[in-house]
Amino acid sequence: MTDPLKQTLDRIVAATLSYRAGVAGAPQRAAMTYEEMRARFAAPLPEHGAPTEAVIAELIEQASPGIAAMTGPRFFAWVIGATHEAGMAADWLTSAWGQNAGNQAATPAAAAAEETAAAWLLDLLDLPRGSSVGFVTGATMANFTGLAAARGEVLARAGWDAEGEGLFGAPPVTVILGEEAHATVFAALKYLGLGDRRVTRVKTDRQGRMIVADVERALAAAPEGPIIVIAQAGHLNTGAFDDFAAIIPRAKERGAWVHVDGAFGLWARTVPALAEQAKGIDLADSWASDGHKWLQTPHDCGYVIVRDRRAHLRAMRMATSYLPFDESARNPVDYVPELSRRARGFATWAMVKALGRAGIAAMVERHCALARRFAERLSVAPDVAVLNEVVLNQLAVRFGSNLPDAEADRLAAPLIARIQQDGECFVGGATHQGLQIVRVSVIGFPTTEADIDRAAAAMLSAWEIVKQAGA
């Protein structure tokens, strides 16, 4: 009798090997649409169970045509890491081990791996070494957690106990951020009762950076009392960094807490030649970043880093009789919103070990060089313009830059559909300063120069076709 677990694992190993080997040569999109997958998965609730191996075989069969090529070398949509095999393997074991990674006494290895990975992150990102680190699901929750610590601390300084009393009757908190801050920052403000509308939006320049004079004006106009300033490392469309060295000291003069959304941009800190752009970022109070973007861990991996451990703990720690608090022993749960949680430290530990500081820096630097190459390849067309200064790995590409705005805007969606359908590469669209663009993010570890050239050629030929048809 073959062991059923072994049969199942053999099956997923075979499926993984064939998927991973095939993705580079396959169309960089799912073969089937959501509608088709819906029809495929739709089924009545099973009354009775089935053997695991059969269930997994069916899952592979059913899901395969609807799997997006996010691990592929020419997948440039959104900002998505390619799930490196070291992170993937560590993540498999994380599931196999089934750890509920909240408490160090219950899960010594998970807690210790996380603690070491946390120290490594502070080193890699060159942030204050005494900071506390929480392993969350992504930058959304990292922004939430950092801003929860911010909310509690600025109100505590004003004599208000936000954790105990909530915001009922609390002194108003002034929140200052760039008008092009990421949607998840506004979501975090909404979750925290700070409001996504009741904020001071600072004007941004062509790269999406907060205009420093406007930040100064907003700070000067802020009433006495609690202030939170939110800055950004890595603008979604341009990759640009706010001017931390100018903004943070000014904000500190007003007693503000400064939070930085650095979902992918914080990783520029690993490359000396890029770190200059993020100068002064270490003066902030909290930082949000992702593992599942530039570090290439599997998804559900983000980090919140807080300079003031007490503020972090005050915002997140739950009082439970069965989770005794011990200052000398770090409980993963104390730094995140969730109680039962995945042992996210293992995948981060494995990725940092697999690449090393030098490997991570080389990858980040290479992606930025590839982004510049992409911009050059696209710019050979007289009517294609890269709108941003390529300071990192992101491109905001305008097709039809010689056309009237409305005409170029109109052609963007059919162009993107055409590129996606061709399958040579995968890109998405966005609105950048009122214009429809194709957004390109070079952030997957397998991407090579040849992939960039192939993708740029595919995009330009799709553009020729769409332009002809549209004209």
Ligand X SMILES: *Cc1c(COP(=O)(O)O)cnc(C)c1O
Residues that bind ligand X (CB under 6 A): 79, 138-140, 182, 184, 234, 236, 261, 263-264, 290, 302
CB of 382 to ligand X, least distance (A): 31
Structure tokens at 142: 């990292």
The radius of gyration computed from the CA coordinates of the chain, to the nearest angstrom, equals 23
CB of 84 or CB of 314, closer to ligand X? 84
Q: Which residues contact residue 249 at a Cβ distance below 8 angstroms, ignoring those fewer than 6 apart?
A: 280, 283
Measured from the CB atom, the residue of 124 and 236 that comes closer to ligand X is 236
Question: Between residues 82 and 155, which has the closer beta carbon with respect to ligand X?
Answer: 82
With CB atoms as reference, the residue minimizing the distance to ligand X is 138
H or E stretch at 289: strand 286-290
* Shortest Cβ 234–ligand X spacing (Å): 5
Q: What share of the chain is helix, strand, coil (3-state, %, to 5)?
A: 50, 15, 40
Who's near 318: CB < 8 A, 6+ residues apart? 333, 339
**Shortest reach from residue 23's CB to ligand X, in Å:** 22
Distance CA 18, CA 62 (A): 16
For ligand X, which is the closer residue by CB, 337 or 400?
A: 337
Return the sign of the alpha-carbon dihedral for residues 355, 92, 138, 445. positive
The minimum distance between CB 93 and ligand X, in angstroms, equals: 22
CB of 290 to ligand X, least distance (A): 5
Question: Which residue number, 19 or 78, has a Cβ lying nearer to ligand X?
Answer: 78
**Residues in a beta bridge with 440:** 395
CA–CA gap between residue 437 and residue 416 (Å, rounded): 9
Q: How far is the CB of 254 from ligand X (least distance, A)?
A: 25
* Closer residue to ligand X, CB minimum distance, 384 or 437: 437
Cα–Cα distance, 394 to 372 (Å, whole number)? 9
Structure tokens at 444: 């997957």
CA 364 and chain centroid, separation: 14
Q: Any idea what DSSP says for residue 334?
A: G
β pairing state of 286-290 and 257-261: parallel
Minimum gap (Å) between residue 467 Cβ and ligand X: 31
Token code pair at residue 301: 């991996």
Which residue lies nearer to ligand X by CB, 28 or 184? 184
Token pair for 461: 């030929």
The smaller minimum CB distance to ligand X, of residues 285 and 424, is found at 285
Whole-number Å distance between alpha carbons of 181 and 131: 24
Min. distance of Cβ 334 from ligand X in angstroms? Answer: 21
